[in-house]
Amino acid sequence: MENFVKEIRQHLETGLIPFWEGLRDEVNGGYYGYMDDGLRIDRQYEKGCILNSRILWFFSNAYRLLNKESLKEDAAHAYRFLREHCVDREYGGVFWSVTCDGQVKDDTKHTYNQAFAIYALASYYDAVKDEEALELAVELMRLIEEKCTDSSGYYLEAFTREFKPADNEKLSENGVMAEKTMNTLLHVFEAYTELYRVSRDEKVADRLRFMMDIMAEKIYNPALGRQEVFFDKDWNSLIDLYSYGHDIETAWLVDRGTEVLGDPEYEGKMSPITREITKHIYERAFYKGALMNEAENGVQDKTRVWWVQAEGVVGFVNGYQKSRQDVAYLEAAKMLWGYIVRCLIDPRDGAEWFWAADENDRPVSRPIVEPWKCPYHNGRMCIEVIRRLKPGKA
């Protein structure tokens, strides 16, 4: 256990943090948005607002954990770019992307994107006690509730700049166009958990309960022990899909949400679901020491995607902590970490993680940094393991 935590802490401090600090744009603000698989930075590439929010979340939490002043300034650098360039001061909300110098590039307003800004801003507020950041997080939460829900209060997906409904092409995959997704709901829940943790606003607590009801009654499939992924407007599932990474991520994020909420009724309602999801991921997706990506119509995709492995480490540690007799989960987390070290951490100087490895453990050629490739999953894995398994807690 001690070596497991020590190795992960060392990777955070000597690998992930220096890498992302090296992408800091001192000319235009924020962080560079693209590095190809040859480790070449494209300084003219657009800056995804989700990527910037995730970088803000990462440095805010790294500062909270390690208490190094340089990390505080790294977080402030991301915050200034979000505040000054990513937020739409005319119609409200956060843009999808901006140019390298902060001009609007894609003005789509997506609920998922608003959620990540809230997640980051709440953490930044907690780290540095900047009231302006908390006010902006609350403003975005109000906007989601007013502009991004249907008449039943369910969360919708994509909108134009003026918040008129738009096709959900950004979060629809596998050949379907979904009007509602498990993924967006999960990350609104994640964001509201963090916002409630720092604000204790009962309106946020009520929405956490509402979302857990949706998860339990409309998204979770008890017959299969999984979450459904893509839905039409009436919550009919559109595809036979196991999304292994999202399932294990949901298991620990929902457990975190019930812990922060502190409502015994919802802990009793959700804990059996998260326990069952974790069990099914361990039995179905944990293959040769790593997690497969997904299964569509019964066909397994055995690609080992970077973020799925990172969420698997946290999810299995969480499963172990829920029931200490489930030592197999802890061993699975350690095996996943060993796989990450062998096959996903890029050994080249100035690199981070490969996007994925194939079934034969060969790296998949994809960008090292792009709008979806960020320090949120792997950085959070490091932070969660250190916090959860530090001496006296394990």
Q: What is the CATH number of the domain that holds 161?
A: 1.50.10.10
Average pLDDT score, the chain: 97
3-state DSSP call for residue 373?
strand
Please indicate, yes or no, if residue 349 is contained in any of the structural domains.
yes
CB-CB contact of 155 with 184 (8 Å): yes
User: Does some domain include residue 388?
Assistant: no
Model confidence pLDDT, tens digit, residues 241-251: 999 999 999 99
pLDDT at 363 over 90: yes
| Residue located via tokens 């099914």 | 280
E strands of 141-287, at which residues?
Answer: 158-159, 180-181, 220-221, 226-227, 230-231, 241-243, 286-287
* pLDDT attached to residue 326: 75
d(Cα 56, Cα 140) in Å, to the nearest integer?
16
* Amino acid sitting at position 66: L
Structural domain count of the chain: 1
pLDDT tens track for 271-291:
999 999 999 999 999 999 999
**pLDDT recorded at residue 301:** 97
DSSP reduced 3-state for 291 = strand
Q: List pLDDT tens digits, range 143-164.
A: 999 999 999 999 999 999 999 9
**Residue-level length of the chain:** 394
For residue 393, the model assigns a pLDDT of 59
pLDDT band at 262 (very low <50, low <70, confident <90, very high): very high
In a domain, residue 390? The reply is no
- Only one residue has tokens 């590439």, namely 45
For 9-68, the pLDDT digits (tens) are: 999 999 999 999 999 999 999 999 999 999 999 999 999 999 999 999 999 999 999 999
Lowest mean pLDDT among 52-56, 170-174, 208-212, 388-392: 388-392
In a domain, 389, yes or no: no
Q: How many CA atoms lie within 13 A of 277 on its CB side?
A: 30
In tens, the pLDDT along 65-116 reads 999 999 999 999 999 999 999 999 999 999 999 999 999 999 999 999 999 9
Q: Which residue range(s) make up the domain with 44?
A: 2-380
φ/ψ of 298, rounded to 5, equals: 80, -5
Asked whether residue 392 is domain-assigned, the answer is no
CA nearest 78: which of 386, 368, 374, 367? 374
In a domain, 394, yes or no: no
Is residue 393 in some structural domain?
A: no
Which pLDDT band holds residue 392 (cuts at 50, 70, 90)?
A: low
What per-residue confidence (pLDDT) applies to 1?
Answer: 82
